[in-house]
């Protein structure tokens, strides 16, 4: 045809791109979560593997189904569904029944993310939405913990209590902490404790977190302020009454704090954009975590505190705005 002269491409500046893509970032997160996955399967055997697979596969499937059903562009290849699926699995007890895992993923993907408009539009961390809704709806199953049985892949699950639930029960009954919690502290580091699938091994989580920090997928602000606040507050209480309040190391290594501080609170969509905002957010998470753990009726406070701070993120982003370069203090800004 006459008008088929080869054309030059015209696009707006800039004409270079760093090469970091959304799917690249999500892939990095999946890699970072792998050590904890492997530890979980090693400690809890077949049930854990089952939960992991169900969650990841169904997360991707549900996202595709929803997007097709609502006539939207299918974006499952950006990897965010896979990450959400993995994180839901991490927040479930290792011997969760298959339907609980499915329900959790449904809550996370559909209710926690897609109804708001998909990636980037959800106000709350989808995996935590799933965890909390399941916790409130099925409290017994969601607190049915198994003891770790390293290397025994096909063994039957044996019930056990998590360090935090043990602590809370003992304090309520006797007014003081259990004398020698089994496996503390090395066991907690390696994962020799009961708990959610992904939260038991602090070391594995730490490896992954360092990888994420190195690849600049997350920044140091939230983990530093979150863990820092927990350390400071828990130390305060521990100094006041060491027989009743656990030491900061116990807080760091037990429950879902490591998982929460490095993987859940740092969720890009639901955390603030600016450095100062992230620091404030992390402090808030730390504050509520310690308060709920020590004074609330739930033994674990990480999930609740992160969800609470998710609610404040839009406010933080709106008001904790960096001063534009060269603008004086009186220069009108929101």
Partner 1 sequence: MKRRSFPGGTHPPQHKSATADTPSEICPLPPELVIPLAQHVGAPAVACVNAGQRVGRGQVVGKPNGFVSVPVHASTSGLVVAVEPRPHPCGAELPAVVLQPDGDDVWAEEYLTQSFHVLTTETMLERIREAGVVGMGGAAFPTHVKLDPPHGKTIDTAIVNAVECEPWLTADRRVLLEQRDKVLTGLEVLQKISGARQMWIGLEDNQTDVAALLAPHCKQRGVGIAVMPAKYPQGAERQLIYAITGRRVPTRGLPMDVGVLVQNIGTVAALTDAVTRARPLIERMVTISGPNVVRPRNLRVRIGTPIAHLLKHCGLREEAAKVLLGGPMMGTAQHTLAVPVLRGTSGVLAFRRQDITAPAGGSCLRCGRCVAACPMHLLPTFIADYARRDALDLAERFAARNCIECGSCSFVCPAGIPLVQSIRYAKGAILARRRST
Partner 2 sequence: MLAAVISLGSLGCFAAILLAMAARRFAVKVDPRQAALLDVLAGANCGACGYPGCSAYARALVAGTARPDLCRPGGPETLARIATILDMEVATGEPQIAVVRCRGNRRQSRAKYDYQGLEDCRAAQKLAFGPKTCPGGCLGLGSCVQHCPFGALNINEQGLAEVDRDRCTGCGLCVSVCPRQVLALAPARSHIHVQCNSPDAGRKVKNYCHVGCIGCRLCMKTAPECFVMEGFLAKVNYGHEKPTAMADAMERCPHHCIQDLAEPRETATHSPSAEERTS
Tell me how far CA of residue 54 lies from CA of 58, 86, 96, 183, 254, in angstroms.
6, 9, 11, 31, 26
Is 324 among the residues that bind partner 1 (CB under 8 A)?
yes
Q: Which is nearer to partner 1, 25 or 197 (by Cβ)?
A: 25
Q: Which is nearer to partner 1, 11 or 297 (by Cβ)?
A: 11
Q: Which of residues 165-184 bind partner 2 (CB under 8 A)?
A: none
Q: How far is the CB of 286 from partner 1 (least distance, A)?
A: 20
Of 2, 4, 13, 151, the one binding partner 1 by CB under 8 A: 13
Query: Quick one: tokens of 16?
Result: 């270079």
Q: Which is nearer to partner 2, 4 or 172 (by Cβ)?
A: 4
Q: Which of residues 68-87 bind partner 1 (CB under 8 A)?
A: 75, 78, 80
Of 4, 18, 140, 330, the one binding partner 1 by CB under 8 A: 18
Is 12 among the residues that bind partner 1 (CB under 8 A)?
yes
Contact 309, 164 (CB under 8 A): no
Burial (Cβ within 10 Å: 0-12, 13-18, ≥19) of residue 200 = buried
Binding mask 106-135 for partner 1 (x = CB under 8 A): -----------xxxxx--------------
Q: Which is nearer to partner 2, 7 or 173 (by Cβ)?
A: 7
Q: How far is the CB of 13 from partner 2 (least distance, A)?
A: 10
Q: How far is the CB of 289 from partner 1 (least distance, A)?
A: 23
Q: Which does 2 bind (CB under 5 to 8 A by kind): partner 1, partner 2, none?
A: partner 2
Contact 174, 157 (CB under 8 A): no
Q: Which residues of 201-238 are buried (b: 16+ CB within 10 A; e: fewer)?
A: bbbbbebbbebbbebebbeebbbebbbebbbebbeebb
Q: Which is nearer to partner 2, 1 or 240 (by Cβ)?
A: 1
Contacts of residues 216-221 at CB distance under 8 Å and 24 or more positions apart, as own/partner, are 217/25, 217/28, 217/29, 217/32, 218/262, 218/266, 218/268, 219/266, 219/275, 219/278, 221/275, 221/278, 221/279, 221/282
Q: Which does 22 bind (CB under 5 to 8 A by kind): partner 2, partner 1, none?
A: partner 1
Q: Which is nearer to partner 1, 18 or 179 (by Cβ)?
A: 18
Is 140 among the residues that bind partner 2 (CB under 8 A)?
no
Q: Which is nearer to partner 2, 18 or 297 (by Cβ)?
A: 18
Beta bridge partners, 146, equal 159
Is 297 among the residues that bind partner 1 (CB under 8 A)?
no
Beta bridge partners, 159, equal 146
Q: Which residues of 53-74 are buried (b: 16+ CB within 10 A; e: fewer)?
A: ebbbebbbebbebbbeeeeeee
Q: Is 17 left (phi over 0), alpha (psi -120 to 50) or beta?
A: beta
Of 27, 97, 275, 296, the one binding partner 1 by CB under 8 A: 275
Q: Which is nearer to partner 2, 17 or 329 (by Cβ)?
A: 17
The alpha carbon of residue 28 and the mean position of all alpha carbons in its chain are separated, in whole angstroms, by 15
Query: Quick one: tokens of 165?
Result: 């639930």
Q: Which of residues 2-21 bind partner 2 (CB under 8 A)?
A: 2-3, 7-12
Contact 247, 236 (CB under 8 A): no
Residues near partner 2 (CB under 8 A) are 1-3, 7-12
Residues at the interface with partner 1 (CB under 8 A): 6-18, 20-22, 24-25, 75, 78, 80, 117-121, 219, 268-269, 271-275, 278, 317, 321-328, 331-334
């Amino acid at each position: 045809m006459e008008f088929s002269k080869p054309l030059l491409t015209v696009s707006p500046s800039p004409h270079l791109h760093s090469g970091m893509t959304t799917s690249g970032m999500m892939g990095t997160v999946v890699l970072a979560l792998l050590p904890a996955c492997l530890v979980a399967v090693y400690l809890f055997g077949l049930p854990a593997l089952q939960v992991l697979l169900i969650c990841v596969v169904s997360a991707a499937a549900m996202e595709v189904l929803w997007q097709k059903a609502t006539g939207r562009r299918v974006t499952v290849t950006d990897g965010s569904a896979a990450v959400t699926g993995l994180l839901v699995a991490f927040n479930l007890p290792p011997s969760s029944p298959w339907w609980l895992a499915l329900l959790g993923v449904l809550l996370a993907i559909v209710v926690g993310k897609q109804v708001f408009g998909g990636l980037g539009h959800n106000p709350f961390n989808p995996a935590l939405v799933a965890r909390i809704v399941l916790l409130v709806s099925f409290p017994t199953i969601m607190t049915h913990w198994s003891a770790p049985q390293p290397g025994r892949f096909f063994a039957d699950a044996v019930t056990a209590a998590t360090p935090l639930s043990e602590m809370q029960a003992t304090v309520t009954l006797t007014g003081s902490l259990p004398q020698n919690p089994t496996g503390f502290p090395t066991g907690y580091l390696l994962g020799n404790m009961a708990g959610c699938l992904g939260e038991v091994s602090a070391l594995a989580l730490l490896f992954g977190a360092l990888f994420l920090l190195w690849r600049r997928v997350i920044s140091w602000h939230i983990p530093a302020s979150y863990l820092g606040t927990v350390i400071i507050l828990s130390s305060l209480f521990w100094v006041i009454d060491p027989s009743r309040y656990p030491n900061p190391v116990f807080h760091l290594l037990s429950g879902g704090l490591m998982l929460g501080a490095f993987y859940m609170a740092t969720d890009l969509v639901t955390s603030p954009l600016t450095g100062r905002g992230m620091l404030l957010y992390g402090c808030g998470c730390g504050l509520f975590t310690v308060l709920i753990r020590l004074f609330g009726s739930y033994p674990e406070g990480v999930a609740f505190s992160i969800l609470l701070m998710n609610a404040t993120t839009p406010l933080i982003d709106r008001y904790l705005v960096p001063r534009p370069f060269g603008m004086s203090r009186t220069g009108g800004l929101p």
